[in-house]
Amino acid sequence: MATLPSTTWRTLTAGAGERELPKGLDAAWDAAAGRARRLTTRTSRFLRRAQKVLAWERHFANISDARLRDAAAELRDVFRRGRDTRADLERAFAVVREVAFRKIGERPFPVQVAGALALHARCVAEMATGEGKTLVATMPATVAGWRGRGCHVVTVNDYLAQRDAEWMAPVYRFCGLRVAHVDSEMEAPARRDAYAADITYLTNKEVTADFLRDRLALGRLRSLPQVLLERIDRGRASGADRLVQRGLEYAIVDEADSVLIDEAVTPLIISGQAPNPEQAKAFSEAAALAEQLEPRRDFRTNDRYREVELTPAGRRRLDALTDGRGGIWAGARRAEELVVQSLTAGVYYRRDKHYVVQDDKVVIVDEFTGRLMPDREWRDGLHQHVQAKEGLEVEPPKDTYARVSFQRFFRLYRHLAGMTGTAAEARREFWQIYHLPVVVIPTNRPCIRRVAPDRVFASAEAKWQSVVERISALHAEGRPVLIGTRSVGASEHLSELLTARELDHQVLNAVRHAEEAQIVASAGMRGRITVATNMAGRGTNIRLACGVEEIGGLVVIATERHEAGRIDRQLFGRCARQGQPGSVEAVVALDDELVRRHAPRLSGSLRTRYGGTDREVSSALTRRVFSVAQRRAERLALRQRKGVLRTDDWLDEYLGFAGREG
C-alpha cells in the first residue's frame, strides 16, 4: 500500500468501543449532554440554513457548466485544506444541488437540503419514506470526498449499493470525485481500488467483513512504528500490504435504524472449517434426548427471554437417559447444556418464521426485513441444533477467527451519520450508543395518511377471517392493498385463504425473494393485492397507477404489531408518500406472539374473557395491551444490545487482537 493513514491504525489497532457506556452520575451527565446537543441540532436551525443554500440557486443556475465545474474545483481545494467555513459549506451544497439538476434532472427540495445539513452535522436524519434520501446523501458525501479521506455510504444490500453508486455517479464525477461500490463477488484487488475511491457505496456486511480481514492480515502488528519496522525487515511481505481499507473516516448509513439498532448486536464473524464428527453426532443425539423430555415436568420455558431451564426432575431424567453413554455425555453439565440448547431450538425457533429449509440447508430469515441470510449461522451450536431438529445433515460448528458486532464496528468511525424513515422512537438509544442526535425532517408535501384504530380479535382464526373480508371489500373498490405479515408461514397461510376466496394476489416473502423489486414496484396497481413479510422490498418505490389516487390510494394492513414500533411505522410508510393519499390499519389478535410473550398475564386474562367469541373485541383496554407489550419488548431489546456492547468492550480489552495504541 502506498499510504497508511493514521485513521487506519486508530481503527485497526486502537481497540473497538473506545467510549464505554457511562454509568451512574456519568450516565446522567451524558443524558444531559444529549439534551443540550439536541438544542443545537433542532430541525428549525437546519431549515433556516437550507434557505441560505437555496439563496445561491439564481447565481449557479445562470453560469455555464465550465464555470460550475471550476466552482466545484475551488471548493474541493478549500475542503481539502480543512479551512472551510459555514459559508463554504452552504455554497458547496448549492453547487451539488445545481449539478444534480443538470446531470440527473433532480434539484433537492429545501427539506432535502435540511436533511443533508443534518447528516453533515453528524446526526440521524429521520426523513419519511419516498422523500429522496439517496439524493440527500450526495451533498454531505461530496464534501466528505473533497476532504480526501474517503466516505462510505452504507446501504442494506448489494443491489442498492450498486444502483445508488451508478445513479449518483454523474454528480460526483462532475464535482471531480471518483465513486465506486463494493459487492460480495469482488476480489481483494478490486475491493482495494473501490475503497481508494473518494466515495464508496457498500453494505454494512461487506465493510465490516473487510475490516475483520484487515485485522487478521495485520496479525501481531499493533502500531504504525511496528508496521514500518516490519516493512524494513521483511520488505513488502508485511500484513499491511494486504489491507484493502484505508481507514474509517466518514460514514453515512442508510436505513440507520435497521443497521445501527435492529442489527446492532448481530456479529459479523470470519470463520473456517473445523471437522469434528463426534461433535456433529452429539447434536443429533441431543435432539433425540430432548424429544423424550416433557414440558412443565422436565423443563420450564420463559417466553419473554426465550430461555429453557431443566427442572430437578428433568435433570434426573437426563442423567438416566445418558447413563453409560460416555464420551461427551459423561459430563453432566455439558450434557445439560446440549439438551437445553436442543430444547430451545425446538421451542423457540420455528420453521417458516425464523428460518426456512432450502436444498437440505437451514437458511435464517432476517427478523426485521423478511429476507433470507444464506451466509449466516446462529452461534454457539444453535444452528446445528436446528439442523438436527429438522433431521438434516449436521455440519460441525466452524472455528471463529475474528468477530465484531455492527454496533461495535460503527462506533469506530471518526464521523458517523445516518438517515432513515423511522428514528424518533430510538432517539435515546442513538445518543447513548453512538452519540448521534436525531433530527426529524418534515415532508416536502403534507402527509395525508389516514390511520385507523387497531381492530382487535380474540383469536388468530377470527383475525384472519376479518383480514380476508377487508381485503375482499377493498379489492371490489379497486384499491390496491399491501398486507404485512411477520413470518413466511403467516404469509403462506393468508395466501391460502385468499386463494380459497378466488382473490388473485402476489406473495413476497423470504422464499419468493427473487421477484422482490418487481412485486413491490407494482403494488400500487389498481386492485392489486400484495402480501409481504415485514419490510421485504424496502428501498423500492411503490408508484400508484393512474386513477388510484382518486379512489383513496394504497391501503396498508398490518396483521401483527411488531416488537418495535419503528417497524410498524416502516410498514405504514409504504403508503401516502409525497403528498399522495393512502390509509393504514392494523388487525391483531389477543393470542399474537407479541402480547403472549411480553404481556402474558394481561393478554391471558383478556383471552379468558373473550375466548368464546369470533366478534371484534376492540376497546381501550384490548388496544392498550399491545402498547404495553411493545414498550416492554423495546426496553428488553435495548438492555440486550447494551449488554452485548459491554461484552464486546470486555472481549476487546482482554481477548482482542491488540491493545490500545499508546
Residue 15 has pLDDT above 50, yes or no: no
In the numeric block, which cell numbers belong to residue 33?
Answer: 449532554
Give tens-digit pLDDT for 544-590: 999 999 999 999 999 999 998 888 998 898 899 888 999 999 999 99
> Within 13 Å and on the Cβ side, how many CA atoms surround 174?
23
SS3 of residue 582 by DSSP: strand
Is residue 535's pLDDT more than 60?
A: no
Pick from 108-117, 503-512, 528-537 the range whose average pLDDT is largest: 108-117
Find the mean pLDDT for residues 653-662. 43
Q: What is the pLDDT of residue 266?
A: 77
274-397: what fold? Pre-protein croslinking domain of SecA (3.90.1440)
Q: What is the CATH architecture of 448-630?
A: 3-Layer(aba) Sandwich (3.40)
What one-character-per-residue DSSP string does 507-553 give? EESGGGGGGHHHHHHTTTSTT-EEEEETTTTTT---PPPTTTGGGT-
Which cell numbers hold the place of 474?
377493498
Q: What is the largest CA-CA distance in the chain?
A: 89
Query: What are 153's strand-pairing partners?
Result: 201, 252
CA distance 143 to 91: 11
Has residue 7 got a pLDDT over 60? no
Cell matching residue 202: 457498500
| Residue 272: pLDDT over 50 | yes
> What local confidence, expressed as pLDDT, does residue 233 receive?
66
Q: How much is the pLDDT for 369?
A: 65
pLDDT digit string, tens, across residues 462-472: 999 999 999 99
Minimum mean pLDDT range among 1-10, 178-187, 509-518: 1-10
- Count other C-beta atoms under 10 Å from residue 44's C-beta: 8
**Per this entry, what is the length of the chain?**
662
pLDDT score for 6? 46
C-alpha cell at 368: 426485521
47-64 average pLDDT score: 96
Q: For residue 658, what pLDDT is reported? A: 37
Cβ distance 420 to 660 under 8 Å? no
What does the pLDDT average to over 517-521? 73
Q: How confident is the model at residue 318, as a pLDDT? A: 95
With b meaning 16 or more CB within 10 Å and e meaning fewer, what string describes 224-256? bebbeebbeeeeeebbbeebbbbbbbbbbbbbb
Report d(CA 105, CA 184) in Å as an integer: 31
Residue 660: the pLDDT is 34
pLDDT at 126 over 80: yes
pLDDT 10s digits, 621-633? 999 999 999 999 9
Give the residue, 237 or 13, on which the prediction is more confident: 237
Residue 2, pLDDT > 50, answer no
The arithmetic mean of pLDDT across residues 280-309, rounded, is 92
Cα–Cα dist 533/535, whole Å: 6
**Which of 2-6, 236-240, 408-412, 540-544 has the weakest average pLDDT?**
2-6
User: Pairing relation of β-strands 448-451 and 151-155?
Assistant: unpaired
> Tens of pLDDT along 163-185?
999 999 999 999 999 999 999 88
296-342 pLDDT tens trace: 999 999 988 889 999 999 999 999 999 988 888 988 899 999 999 99
Helix (H/G/I), strand (E/B), else coil: 240 = helix
Report the pLDDT value the prediction gives residue 224, as an integer from 0 to 100: 58
pLDDT for res 430: 94
**CA 397, 644, 418: angle at the middle one, nearest 5?**
110
- Is domain 6-11+22-269+406-440 given the CATH code 3.40.50.300 in the classification? yes
What is the predicted pLDDT for the residue at 35?
Answer: 76
The mean of the pLDDT values for the chain is: 87
Which range has highest mean pLDDT (85-94, 152-161, 355-364, 422-431)? 85-94
Q: Do domains 6-11+22-269+406-440 and 448-630 have the same CATH topology?
A: yes
3-state DSSP assignment of residue 590 = coil
**Alpha carbons 84 and 345: distance in angstroms, whole number:** 56
With contact defined as beta carbons under 8 Å apart, do 1 and 241 qualify? yes
Angle at 407 between CA 533 and CA 118, to 5 degrees: 85
Residue 420 pairs with which residues in a beta bridge? 126
Higher pLDDT, 123 or 515: 123
Question: What DSSP designation does 659 have?
Answer: -
Q: Give the per-residue SS3 of 82-133.
A: CCCCHHHHHHHHHHHHHHHHHHHCCCCCHHHHHHHHHHHCCCEEECCCCCCH
Q: Cα(424)–Cα(125) distance, rounded to whole angstroms?
A: 9
Average pLDDT over residues 47-55: 97
Angstrom distance (rounded) from CA 32 to CA 38:
10
CA–CA gap between residue 499 and residue 519 (Å, rounded): 18
The pLDDT of residue 651: 64
Taking a C-beta distance cutoff of 8 angstroms, is the pair 93, 60 a contact? no
Least confident range from 68-72, 205-209, 295-299, 304-308: namely: 304-308
Q: What is the mean pLDDT of residues 120-132?
A: 93
Give the pLDDT confidence score for residue 510 in this predicted structure. Answer: 61
**What is the grid cell recorded at 596?**
403472549
Instruction: Name the percent of the chain lying above pLDDT 70.
Output: 89
Please give the torsion angle defined by the CA atoms of residues 500, 502, 504 and 506, in that order, rounded to the nearest 10 degrees. Answer: 0
C-alpha cell at 377: 449461522
When pLDDT is cut at 50, 70 and 90, the band that residue 141 belongs to is very high
Closest by alpha carbon to 260, among 126, 47, 417? Answer: 417
The identity of residue 178, as a single letter, is: R
Percent of the chain past pLDDT 90, that is, above it, reads: 64
3-state secondary structure of 658: coil
Concatenating the DSSP letter of every residue in 226-242 gives: HHHHHHHHHGGGSGGGG
Residue 10 has pLDDT above 50, yes or no: no
Cα torsion for 356, 361, 367, 371, to the nearest 10°?
Answer: -80
Question: Residue 509 — φ and ψ, nearest 5°?
Answer: -145, -175
* Measured distance CA(194)–CA(189) in Å, rounded: 9
152 or 515: which carries more pLDDT confidence? 152
**Residue-range domain boundaries for the chain:** 6-11+22-269+406-440, 274-397, 448-630
pTM: 0.84
Burial 280-308 (b: 16+ CB within 10 A, else e): bebbbbbbebbeebeeeebbebeeeeeeb
Partner residues linked to 8 by β-bridges: none
Give residue 419's pLDDT band: very low, low, confident or very high (50, 70, 90). very high
Quote the DSSP letter at residue 266: P
Render pLDDT for 580-606 as a digit per residue (tens, 0 to 9). 999 999 999 999 999 999 999 999 999
266 vs 538, residue with greater confidence:
266
Among 126-130, 167-171, 369-373, the least confident range: 369-373
